[in-house]
Amino acid sequence: MTVKMDEAACHNMREALRQEWLDTNGRGGYASGTAVGCHTRKYHGLLVANLTEPAGRFLLLSDFEDSIVTPDQEFALACHRYPGVFHPHGHRYLTAFTLDECPVFRYRIGEAVVHKSIAMVQDENTVLVRYRIEHSTAPVTLRLKPLLAFRGHHELKREDGFIRTQTQVVAQGFSIHPYEGLPPLFIQASRPSTFVPAPDWYRNFEYFIEAERGYDHHEDLFCPGVIDVVLKPGQSVVIAAALEEQTGPLEPVWAREMARRHTLAQSDRETARRQGSSLLTPLLFPLIQAGRHFVIHTPAPERRTTIIAGYPWFDDWGRDTLISLPGLTFCSGNPEAGVAILKSMAPHERQGIIPNFFAANPDHNAYNAVDASLWYFWAVQQMLHWTGDRETVRVHFWPVMQRILARFMAGTVNDIFMEKDGLLHAGSQSTQLTWMDAQAYGRPVTPRHGCAVEINALWYNALCFAAQLAEDFGEVRPWPGDLTSRLKTAFTQRFWMETENCLADTYANGVLDTAVRPNQILAASLPFSPLEGHQRIGVVERVRKDLLTPYGLRTLSPRDPAYRGRYEGDQEQRDSAYHQGTVWPWLLGHFGEAYLKVTLDRRQAVSFLLKELQPLLDYSLNGPGMINVPEIFDGDPPHRPNGCPAQAWSTAELIRLFTLCSPGGCE
């Protein structure tokens, strides 16, 4: 799918500055910016590399301050924001922005037309920027001033005296090694170029979205010098910024990358056609394309297949990976990646716990979630549904699943243990082990220790699935035969609220939290449900009435006194609203699945879901996210988008939902 902005849209700076593009390299690195080329976040940059040493993502090259020089005048293409002013004013010459296989900017300067395209090279820490000159009556000079940050991508750079300003000449360009401990940067052109060292600091760039989020929002960037390339009408040049010297021609590298993307787009279109119906294919195709950003291989030496939870600031999270996995792999025509991810996670299980966060050094993994281990069972169920490969399950996944069950039953870290009635208890007053894990002002916002409803729905599903596998594999279940029936009874007795016709949220220390939250929907959506049919209908109806919005499910009913309808303010204020009414798109997958399961008229149910989701689809496919689904929206209309602008599980669960809505998708 192609996103296009015409000249009028490009010149509407108020809106255009919120139109963000994203390009990735399949190893956690990315390039990102806005449709007018002006950075509005500290995370925007041309080369953000995911490094092994030092570990993590580093924003190395922020931008090129680029311009076209004629015999009479210099015309800026770049646009930056400083306090109270834009400078230079390249956006004035911008006549179109297109996002298809890569972002493309079109500028008109007199009779000349300049096309600027940006692409990360797959599996390399290399970004390519291609300039093409059309309709010019005479040769022009492309002038580039690289702006370097060389910082962690969560940080900001300020002028310092430690930078090494020396540059080295390389073929068609130069290299610079600004700081010890970080890699050198090579900037080269595909055509003859001149580089004139002119080290200088550009001070006080301003990122207004960071200001809105309550963060420091000013930065200094270092320019090592000026690159000039003379281009005749009809000529193009590829500029490479990379962590290794490019020793071959650059134009073929660009051509190969574009060919790779074209082939993938054809494959994704065919997958969307195969997984969906004629109605759903146009929706699935761009989402499957966007989903490719999130599935990555971590840097050498580990080279683990995983999922980035969100761009630009989230990393490798266990819970997010497992929830995202079916939509981004099995439903997207990439089952090999799904199996590889499940295999790569298994060795990291400790005392029955799958990490909530995977660090570059496995010794620093965070084992602070109860549900990641239970989502592992669901992801394996999805893998088995899509592939039918029971042997892989038996050899690679069944052993870790057995260890998880044994440790949870016996009791393990973080106060996780099975109560006498079979319910699973997790956590204490000082821990946050479920997905609603926000803390503000030094304390949990939504304390959910004890027995949480979705944890026990996942627990019941895991036990039933394990019983099924044990039978298939000819093994004896290593737990009492009546456990699942006892658990089902205890679940209903503990959580079912007859007068409300829905489920409570948590039970701890004899107190039942009756808040209406979306967590209960899992009890109706999972393959094995502890509820009776009429109870599942009640849950779906309550969630529909109180929590469903066109952008996802609210995390708390607006009827609740603790409801917060706006996600805004500083970090503490935002965290206080994170799970107190804020809308999460990822929950739509399980709501839609539950709705389809309880409906008597499947066609009507699909029609209802697609109609309800039309605003989210319009936003995701045509809005500022540019074919990316954000993390959250406000609970109150008009449901402003917020949080991470490209979230893996938001995208994944929309893909899975549309697959479920296809003929036979919910069987």
Listed by start position, the domains of the chain span 3-244, 547-667
Do residues 629 and 296 make contact, with C-beta atoms less than 8 angstroms apart? no
On the question of pLDDT at 667 being above 60, the answer is no
Q: What is the mean pLDDT of the chain?
A: 95
Write down the pTM of the prediction.
0.95
Q: What is the pLDDT of residues 285-334, one digit of tens each?
A: 999 999 999 999 998 777 899 999 999 999 999 999 999 999 999 999 99
How many percent of the chain have pLDDT more than 90? 88
Alpha-carbon radius of gyration of the chain: 26
Contact between 307 and 344 (Cβ < 8 Å):
no
Confidence of residue 137 (pLDDT cuts 50, 70, 90): confident
Please, is 364 exposed, middle or buried when counting C-beta atoms within 10 Å of its C-beta (0-12, 13-18, 19+)? exposed
Span 3-244 CATH architecture: Distorted Sandwich (2.70)
CB atoms within 10 A of CB 574: 21
pLDDT of 665 > 70? The answer is no
Is pLDDT above 60 for 574?
yes
Question: 626 pLDDT exceeds 80?
Answer: no
Task: Transcribe 79-131 into DSSP letters.
Answer: EEEETTEEEEEGGGGEEEEEESSSEEEEEEETTEEEEEEEEEPTTSSEEEEEE
What the block records as the tokens of 504 is: 């409570």
Distance CA 382, CA 376 (A): 10
Residue 261: phi and psi, rounded to 5, are -65, -40
pLDDT for 625 beyond 70: no
- Are 81 and 14 in contact, with CB atoms under 8 Å apart? no
Residue 606's identity, in one-letter code, is: V
Locus of tokens 């500022």: 624
Residue type, 202: Y
Mean pLDDT of 97-106: 94
In angstroms, what CA-CA distances link 303 with 41, 244, 299, 341, 587? 29, 19, 5, 11, 30
Q: Coil, helix or strand for 233?
A: coil
- What is the distance between the alpha carbons of residues 202 and 529, in angstroms, rounded to a whole number? 60
| Neighbouring residues of 556: CB distance < 8 A, sequence distance ≥ 6 | 515, 516, 517, 562, 563, 564, 579, 580, 581, 635
Give residue 622's pLDDT.
Answer: 73
pLDDT digits (tens, 9 = 90+) for 138-166: 999 999 999 999 999 999 999 999 999 99
